Chain A
Amino acid sequence: MSVAGLLGQVFAIVFALALAPLLTGWVNQCRAWLQNRSAPPLLQPYYMLHKLFNKDVVLAHGASPLFRFAPYALFGCMMLACAIIPSLSTDLPLAPAADALALVGVFGLARVFISLAAMDIGTSFGSLGGRREMLVGFLAEPALLIVIFTVALIAQSTSVATIVETLAHREFVIYPSIAFAGIAFTMVSFAENARVPVDNPATHLELTMIHEAMILEYSGRHLALIEWAASLKLYAYSCLGLALFFPWGIAERDNFMALVAAIPILLAKLLIGGFLVALIETINAKMRIFRAPEFLGTAFLLAVLGMLVNLLLESRV
C-alpha cells in the first residue's frame, strides 16, 4: 500500500462526506433557478444537518432496535460505497473490499434496512413507502447489474477500479455499448435517488411520495443521518456515472500530482452533472407510480441492448 494510495483513499472518503450535501444543495439551487423560484442558499443542506443533529430524537411507541439501527446501517453502506467508487484516483486500498457486483449489493442492503425500518413502526405511510421502494428497487437493480456487466465485459474485470482504469488510461476506443449503458445508468440512478420522473424529493403528497414516506417517523440525529446518506447516495451514483462514462482526469496508481489535479476536475464534472440532473428533473413531469415499471423496464432493455451490441461489435475473436 503506497502513501499516495492511502492519501487517495482518505481524500475520497473526506471529499464524499464534505461534498455530498453541497452537491444536493447545488442540484436544488439549479432546480429552483430553472423553475423560476428563488433558490435556497447553497449551504442549506449543511444548516439542515446542523439543526437536526442538535435536536432530540423522538421515538414512536413500539419502535424496535431495528428502527434505531437502520440510519447508522444506511449511512455506513453509503460511506462504504463512496469509499470504493474511484472518484479521484483508481488506486484505492479499500477497493478489494467490494467489486462492482458487491457495490450493487451494498446499495441493496441499505434499501432493505430503510424499508424494514419504515415498516417497523406500523404506520400505513411507512409500509406504503417501503413497498414502493422495494418495487422500484427490484426493477432498478437488474438494470444496474447489466450496465455493470457491460462495462465489466469491456474491462474483463468486475473490480470498479480496474474498469475505470481500463476506460480512462488505455488507448482511446469508442465503445458504442457505453452509450446504451450510459443512458440506462442515468435512468436507473434517477429512480434510485428518488429524483423526479419516479419520485419527487420535495413532495409530501401521500399519493406520490416514496422516499419521504419511509422516513416520516424519523427525527433528530437519525433523520440527519438519513438525509446525509441520501446526499451520499446521490454523490456515489454521480461519481460512479462520471467514472464509468466520463473517466478522464481520474488519477492513476502512484501519481500524486494527478491526484491533486483530479480534485478540480471532479468538482467541475460534478458542477456540470448536477446542473444536468436539475435540467432533466425540470423538463420531465413526475410519472404515475404505475408507469415506473415501464420506465425501469426500458432502462433494463437498453442495458441488455448495450451488452448485445458489445458482443456483436466489440468482441475480439
Chain B
Amino acid sequence: MSGLMAYSGQLINLCAAVILLLAFAMLAQRRVIHLIDLFALQGFTLFLSTLIMALKTGQTHLFYSAGLTLGLKALLLPWILHRLVRKLHVKSEVEALINIPTTMLVGIVLVVIAFNVALPISNLSSSIARGMLGIALAAVMLAFLMMITRRKAITQVVGFLSMENGLFLAATSATYGMPMVVELGIALDVLVGVIILGVFFFQIRDQFDSLDIHHMEKLKEH
C-alpha cells in the first residue's frame, strides 16, 4: 500500500492522461457500440483516479463519489445505452457532420487552448493533482466537440455524459471533489436525464423514422 501511495500523484496523472486518450478515441470512433464501451471505460478510469485520490487524502466523501462513479458511469449508464441501441435498432455507423480527421485536428487545437487556459488557474491550486485541471478542461471541450459534430441523438447523449465525466475530473482535481449534496444531485440529474432522453429517442423515431436530429429543423406549425 505504501508503494502505491508513493506513486499516487503520478498514477492520478496517468489516469487523467488515459481519460484524455479515451476522449480522443471516442472522437475517432465510428461504431456506436464501441463508443458506448469507450464511455464505460472512461467512467472506470475516472473511478480509479477518484479512488486513488480518496486513498491518498483519506477523505470519506471521495470514497462515496468513487463508488457512485463506478456504479453509475461505468456500469448503469452504459447498460442503459446498450439497451437503447438494441431496442431502437440504431444503425451501427456514427454519422459525423465534419469528417473524422478534421474533427481530430480541431480536437488537438482545443486541447492546446484548454491547456493554456488552465495553466494559470492550476498554478493557484494546492491540490496534489493540479496539472489535471488542463486535462479535465480538454476532456470537457472534446466531449462538447463530439456533441456538436455528430448527427445522431444517441451519440450526442454519449457526448453529454462524457462532458459530465470531464467536469467531475475537474472538480476532483482542483478541489478534492464537490460537496456530497451537489455530487448526488448531479449524479441523479445525469441518470434522470439519460432516462428522459431515452424516452425522447423513441418519440423522435416514431415521429421521423430516424434518430437524425436534422429532421427536427423542419418542425413548423402550419
Contact of A301 among B13, B16, B104, B132 (CB under 8 A): B104
Which of B100-138 touch A at CB < 8 Å? 100-101, 104-105, 107-108, 111-112, 115, 119, 131-132, 134-135
A301 contacts B24, C-beta separation under 8 Å? yes
- Give the residue among A177, A183, A302, A308 with the most B Cβ atoms within 10 A: A308
B20 contacts A173, C-beta separation under 8 Å? no
B10 contacts A309, C-beta separation under 8 Å? no
B16 contacts A297, C-beta separation under 8 Å? no
Count of chain A to chain B residue pairs whose CB atoms are closer than 8 Å in the complex: 58
Contact of A180 among B17, B112, B119, B134 (CB under 8 A): B17
A305 contacts B108, C-beta separation under 8 Å? yes
Let me know if A44 is at the binding interface, CB within 8 A: no
- Give the residue among B18, B108, B119 with the most A Cβ atoms within 10 A: B108
Q: Interface on chain A toward B: helix, strand, loop, or mixed SS?
A: helix
Question: B58 CB to closest chain A CB, in angstroms?
Answer: 22
Question: B3 CB to closest chain A CB, in angstroms?
Answer: 10
Q: Give chain B residues whose Cβ lies under 8 Å from the Cβ of A304.
A: 108
A197→B52 CA distance, assembly (Å) = 37
B10 contacts A174, C-beta separation under 8 Å? yes
Query: How many residues in B have their beta carbons less than 8 Å from beta carbons of A?
Result: 26
What 0/1 readout, one digit per residue, does chain B (7-44) give for beta carbons within 8 Å of chain A?
10011011011101100100010000000000000000
Which of A148-179 touch B at CB < 8 Å? 173-174, 176-177, 179
A309 contacts B104, C-beta separation under 8 Å? no
Q: Give chain A residues whose Cβ lies under 8 Å from the Cβ of B131.
A: 312-313
A298 contacts B28, C-beta separation under 8 Å? yes
A176 contacts B14, C-beta separation under 8 Å? yes
Closest 4 CB pairs of A and B: A176-B17, A174-B10, A313-B131, A176-B14
Q: Give chain A residues whose Cβ lies under 8 Å from the Cβ of B18.
A: 176, 179
Question: Please, could you name 30 A-B residue pairs with CB atoms under 8 Å apart, sorted by A?
Answer: A173-B10, A174-B7, A174-B14, A176-B16, A176-B17, A177-B17, A179-B18, A179-B21, A180-B21, A293-B101, A297-B101, A297-B104, A298-B28, A301-B24, A302-B21, A302-B24, A305-B21, A305-B24, A305-B111, A308-B111, A308-B112, A308-B115, A309-B17, A309-B135, A311-B115, A312-B115, A312-B131, A313-B13, A313-B17, A313-B131
What 0/1 readout, one digit per residue, does chain A (303-317) give for beta carbons within 8 Å of chain B?
011001101110000
Q: Give chain A residues whose Cβ lies under 8 Å from the Cβ of B112.
A: 308
A305→B107 CA distance, assembly (Å) = 10
Q: Give chain B residues whose Cβ lies under 8 Å from the Cβ of A301.
A: 24, 104-105, 107-108
Q: Give chain A residues whose Cβ lies under 8 Å from the Cβ of B100.
A: 294
A173→B28 CA distance, assembly (Å) = 30
